[in-house]
Structure 1
Amino acid sequence: MVQAPELWEEGYQGKGNVVAVIDTGCQRDHPDLKSRIIGGRNFTDDYNSDKENFTDNQGHGTHVAGTIGAALDGKGIVGVAPEVDLLILKALSGEGYGSYQGIIDSIHYAIDWRGDDGKRVRVISMSLGGPNDIPEMHEAIKRAVEHNILVVCAAGNEGDEDEDTEEIAYPGYYKEVMQVGAVDFEGELASFTNFNDEIDLVAPGVNILSTYLDHKYARLSGTSMATPHVSGAAAIIINQCEDDFDRELTEPQMYSQVVRRTESLGNSRSMEGNGLLVLTNYTSSLADKKRRQQKISTKQ
């Protein structure tokens, strides 16, 4: 629905980019994910607070991780960015809850993390939220943005289809993040998706098939499922644009490049933001540029 395979054919699959997934952890040996996980850390009390054990004991995080980056190997399912690297940060417990401090610590860890080859996090994906505006969490997100990390967050699932009523969850409502609402496969807004004046775009979030516990797969619904579509898309957009522009993108440029790849569904901005994520909305202009370059080369 977001037309990622068309960009895969152009050679853009998220390779070299790291997405930090702040969630319930991940099943590290799931066949679709084990080649994509580059590291992780536990910020909960699960497993006797063992920092090295970021195994998913709820299922949500494994599902989110699969939508972002499940490998393209002809088996199971495939994520939006099948060559992306995943940094798994377990801030939510087996019950699906976590402390604000755990989330804050996860964000700072993602900012400061460096891979053996100097890799750093380019995108933080958070399919979580709560009712409270926590200044320390807001400051952590601002720090991430200052370090040129795109922060993608779920809008929340308290929607009631009343356009005049704002449903607000944090960190999604912060201006610095990319807040994602959900639609179904028909392009209709999900009945549960939050509406507010900070929605940036919408993505598929109803009956999404992805990886799950015990090497299995499951269909889940929520803005939690829409968010990883955008996080994975950001990774391949970074590939595409940095190849096109021949320089590293800043966070404002990442945000701009994601938003421009949207298509209006005819709803108000508070309901759909800029519209549905459609990755090919920019492909034609990129292809035109390549054709122009080929013509110039031929003339020379």
Structure 2
Amino acid sequence: MSTVRLNPVTVKQVKTEESTIPRGVRKIKAPALWKQGYRGDQVVVAVLDTGCQRDHPDLRQQIIGGYNFTNDYNGNHLNYSDNHGHGTHVCGTIAAAGEGVTGVAPKAKLLVLKVVNGTGEGEVEDIVSGIDYAIGWTGPRGEKVRIISMSLGTPDDPPSLHNAIKRAVANNIIVVCAAGNEGDGRSNTQEYNYPGAYEEVVEVGSVSYSQRPSWFSNTNSQLDLVAPGEKVLSTYPGSQYASLSGTSMAAPHVSGALALLIEKHEKERNRRLTEPELYELLIRNTKSLGYPRSQQGHGMLHLNRR
């Protein structure tokens, strides 16, 4: 049976004394859309990860629902608390409210789906169940999931996982995935991690704040774009804040950015955008860094370009 594993590259505890806009959030130009009045208001992002600290000051108002698909907490499906740290960090980059840090889309809503246990491992069948749950979920006001964010992966290529991804996309949900951290720093070698390497998803690689490809970031022909993934400051269990590195940290920048773009462009066009339209819109909000396509995809996430 295929197992996914989380492997953030570094962990460092950080205390914030006052509200901070993390460097990555600023680097992708999210504040430019905030100034226009867009903060991802009510856009629902399903985060498939290790859960989330439900009472974290920056996240307690952002969580709209959740479910535990693992055996943690004796299999209590209603307890989707984070007993690892990874999921809380990812959630904060997407939508932290600004008490200690501000996420990319601080008014987005998070559907927390715990598919990875406290040791950082998860079964593919649980991830498939989580994807299907996100597809079928309806919120208290009729909300539907618009974005699925997955900072996890396996070197295997399970057909059931690929089919679940296809179902999500067919339901006009855009799926954002981390590329993986098995890279060797070279653009001419191909490292594939799934679901990131599926053609149907948005595969996100990592760059440093100086816009250089991260040494650990997977390179392959399916890479769509890159975002900051080194020393990313975000929320952490215990109502704390921490800096982590990895493509896991790059992907939620893109998930949050999509929430901003959905709010902005659906208001402007007065209609719901399709998944292909969202992908095209996202790619228009990138800038080339001059690296090979296998290392940067279409380029670095850069909001408010067009």
Q: In which range does the TM-score fall when normalised by the shorter chain? A: over 0.9
Matched, 1:234 2:258: yes
| One-letter amino acid matched to 1:150 | I
TM-score by length of 2: 0.91
Shift of 1:169: 0.1
Shift of 1:16: 1.8
Measure, in 2, the Cα distance between the counterparts of 1:31 and 1:181. 29
**How many residues are aligned here?**
280
**Partner residue in 2 for 1:176:** 200
Matched, 1:96 2:103: no
| One-letter amino acid matched to 2:286 | T
Shift of 1:162: 1.9
**Partner residue in 2 for 1:26:** 52
| Cα distance per residue 1:158-205 (max 9 Å; x no partner) | 000122210000000000000000001110110100000000000000
Structure showing greater Rg: 1
> Which 4+ runs in 1 deviate beyond 3 A?
none
Measure, in 1, the Cα distance between the counterparts of 2:92 and 2:35. 20
**Partner residue in 2 for 1:8:** 34
| Cα distance per residue 1:38-82 (max 9 Å; x no partner) | 00000101000000000000000000000000013xx30000000
| One-letter amino acid matched to 2:258 | A
Measure, in 2, the Cα distance between the counterparts of 1:161 and 1:191. 4
The 5 A counterparts of 1:282-297 are: 282=306
**Partner residue in 1 for 2:223:** 199
| One-letter amino acid matched to 1:130 | T
Please, what is the CA RMSD of the aligned residues? 0.6
**Partner residue in 1 for 2:97:** 71
Q: Using CA pairs below 8 Å that are at least 6 residues apart, which structure has the higher relative contact order?
A: 2
| One-letter amino acid matched to 1:9 | K
| Cα distance per residue 1:4-52 (max 9 Å; x no partner) | 0110111110012100000000000000000000000001010000000
Identity of aligned residues (%): 55
Residue 54 of structure 1: which of 70, 76, 80 is its match?
80
**Partner residue in 2 for 1:165:** 189
**Partner residue in 1 for 2:110:** 86
Measure, in 1, the Cα distance between the counterparts of 2:304 and 2:240. 31
| Cα distance per residue 1:145-168 (max 9 Å; x no partner) | 000000000000000012221000
Shift of 1:273: 0.2
**Partner residue in 1 for 2:147:** 123
Shift of 1:246: 1.4
**Partner residue in 1 for 2:176:** 152
Matched, 1:260 2:269: no
SS at match of 2:67: strand
SS at match of 1:218: strand
Matched, 1:279 2:303: yes
SS at match of 2:255: helix
Alignment gaps of 5+ in structure 1: 283-300
SS at match of 1:157: coil
SS at match of 1:105: helix
Measure, in 2, the Cα distance between the counterparts of 1:67 and 1:192. 20
| One-letter amino acid matched to 1:195 | T
More helix by share: 1
